[in-house]
Structure 1
Amino acid sequence: MKVYVTGSLAFDRIMTFPGKFSDHILPDKIHILNVCFVVNGLDEKFGGTAGNIAYSMALMGEKPVILSQVGKDFALYDEWLQKHGLPVEGIRTIDHEHTAGAYITTDMSDNQITGFNPGAMCHSCAYDMSNIDNNSLAIISPGNVEDMVGHPEYYREKGIRFIFDPGQQITTLGGERLGKALDGAFMLITNDYELQMVMNDTGLSREQLLDKVGMLVTTLGEKGCQIVTKEGEVAIPAAKAAEVVDPTGAGDAFRAGLLKGLCLEKDIETACRMGAVSAAYSVEKRGTQEHGYTWDEFCKRYEENYGPLG
């Protein structure tokens, strides 16, 4: 089964300030704020929702097609994706833009100041959707808004099963476009806060959302996730992590494991357990594409948490 992942590709540029922001911000001068923080170097990590999902899927032997857009500085990320056997034909290069980038500075109290440059993400990926056949599976994750609205429209028209994952773009989409984009999705996946945002922005209750989508999968951090259909609710406990180092990217890793389960034609409960195992690997490393494992190791950890992966 071919999988298509719509979403962002981005560089995460992470800096650490060896002090506290609060020691250098004068409350009575906040109206003329002018502050420079000298940081201890910079770590550049590969990220973005589509990149993160595709990376974890590659660890499980899948080669999803990424539908995204990048800029003139993409060469190193391109090498990284191809090193992991990921196809790049769905990625559009915008020569006059930079690849999307998050610039994150963290102080000694774990406060963060982040600047995000969407860069190439402002442009549609312009992929020829007619290349996608009816036997495919797709996920629409946060990225270019035009793609997040247009790709579901194509999938609905062609009867292609898709998952809608609006995440950080909920507020940008707005209620009307959000309600239209998720209509007909096989699954709406969010965390619990995002689900409430979806309901607030669309004006739809949970029951009304289930009139539009096949099911709701809501991730709950260390509490696992919840599957809701018109038939009822199922709780899936989280898989145990050896150590929680960095929760950033855990949601994308969860989606990768879930997609792998669907590719193997597992039931939704098993697929979500696979998502939980994938997320556990992710939180054990700092960065969203720093973890690694073999398929045998994945299956062993699944068995340790949930029993045999039948």
Structure 2
Amino acid sequence: MQIFVSGSLAYDRIMSFPGKFSDHILPDKIHILNVCFMVDGLDERFGGTAGNIAYSLNLLEEKPVILACAGKDFDSYEKWLRQQGLSLKGVRQVDTEHTAGAYITTDKSDNQITGFNPGAMKHPSQFDFSRVPPDDALAIVAPGNLQDMQEYPRAYRDLHIPYIFDPGQSLPAFNGEQLKDMITGARILVSNDYELEMIMKATGETKAQLLERAEVIITTLGEKGSLITERNGRTTQVPAARIARCVDPTGAGDAYRSGLIKGLAMGWELPRAALVASTCASFAVEYLGTQEHSFSLDEFWARFEENYGKPA
């Protein structure tokens, strides 16, 4: 099965400030704020929704096509993706821009200040679907270029390619009518519980009304697992997989989506596919960063069996 993953490719540049931001910000001078924080070095990691989802799918022995834009500083990320054996045929390189980057500074109280440069992500990836066989394809539209997020659902509907719509952190960029158009025809609308509330507020529609547009709504609930709500009224609570330690939950959502796609690609029903999703997410949270976890298929299915019984 051909799997298309549209979204972002980004560098996560993480810095640690050994003090507290609050010690250097004067409340009565906030209107003329001018501060400098000396950090303890910089840690660069590979990230972005498309990169993260594709990375975990690759661990699950799928070879997705990444649909995203990268910039003139893409060399190290490109090398990393090629080392994973991932296709770059859907990655458009924009030589006048930098690859999208998040600059995250965390103080010793875990407060964060983040600057995000969209860079090449401002440009659509412009993938040509004319030679894609619709009977053997699956797609996810994850947060990334806003034009891609609007145009790819239309392309998938025209080609009868089932797709997962995941607006995520891009939600505030769309109005209600745009969201309704992107959701209409989706196989699955996936979001966390807060994002689902935002979607309902923006569209003015209830969950039941959204289910007239998307066949299924999956709501992720962190350590409480996820909830599947189907158009036929059936709901399924999916438990989270047990973990050895929780180090960084940042990449759990993208890993969940990777496992969900893997389960669907295997032809499993949604409740079973969501167990694959929970298992995949459990590996991600045990490591700092979104593409730092690793597992063999034997290790993956051993954890799946430990949590949920033998795979069907």
Aligned equivalent of 2:61 = 61
Please give the secondary structure, in 2, of the residue aligned with 1:96. coil
Aligned equivalent of 1:183 = 184
Aligned equivalent of 1:269 = 271
2:199 equivalent to 1:203: no
Q: Which runs of 5+ in 2 are unaligned?
A: none
Shift of 1:128: 0.8
2:174 and 2:71 map into 1 onto residues whose CA distance is 23
2:225 equivalent to 1:194: no
**Where do residues 18-37 of structure 1 align in structure 2 (5 Å cutoff)?**
18-37=18-37
RMSD of aligned Cα (Å): 0.6
Aligned equivalent of 1:7 = 7
Listed one character per residue, the Cα deviations across residues 196-220 of structure 1 (whole Å, up to 9, x for unaligned) are 1110111110000000011000000
Please give the secondary structure, in 1, of the residue aligned with 2:268. coil
Aligned equivalent of 2:105 = 105
Aligned equivalent of 1:247 = 249
Please give the secondary structure, in 2, of the residue aligned with 1:15. strand
Letter in 1 for 2:115: G
2:190 and 2:131 map into 1 onto residues whose CA distance is 25
Identity value in percent: 56
2:44 and 2:181 map into 1 onto residues whose CA distance is 36
Shift of 1:133: 2.0
Letter in 2 for 1:67: L
Name segments (4+ residues, structure 1) moved above 2 Å. none
2:248 equivalent to 1:257: no
Aligned equivalent of 2:288 = 286
Shift of 1:231: 2.7
Please give the secondary structure, in 2, of the residue aligned with 1:255. helix
Shift of 1:173: 1.7
TM-score, length-normalised on structure 2? Answer: 0.98
2:161 equivalent to 1:153: no
Please give the secondary structure, in 2, of the residue aligned with 1:200. helix
Aligned equivalent of 1:304 = 306
Please give the secondary structure, in 1, of the residue aligned with 2:280. helix
TM-score, length-normalised on structure 1? Answer: 0.99
Letter in 1 for 2:205: L
Letter in 2 for 1:13: R
2:133 and 2:90 map into 1 onto residues whose CA distance is 15
**Where do residues 106-185 of structure 1 align in structure 2 (5 Å cutoff)?**
106-134=106-134, 135-185=136-186
Aligned equivalent of 1:95 = 95
Shift of 1:129: 2.0
2:174 and 2:233 map into 1 onto residues whose CA distance is 29
2:210 and 2:246 map into 1 onto residues whose CA distance is 33
The count of aligned residue pairs is 310
Aligned equivalent of 2:240 = 238
Aligned equivalent of 2:224 = 223
Shift of 1:157: 1.1
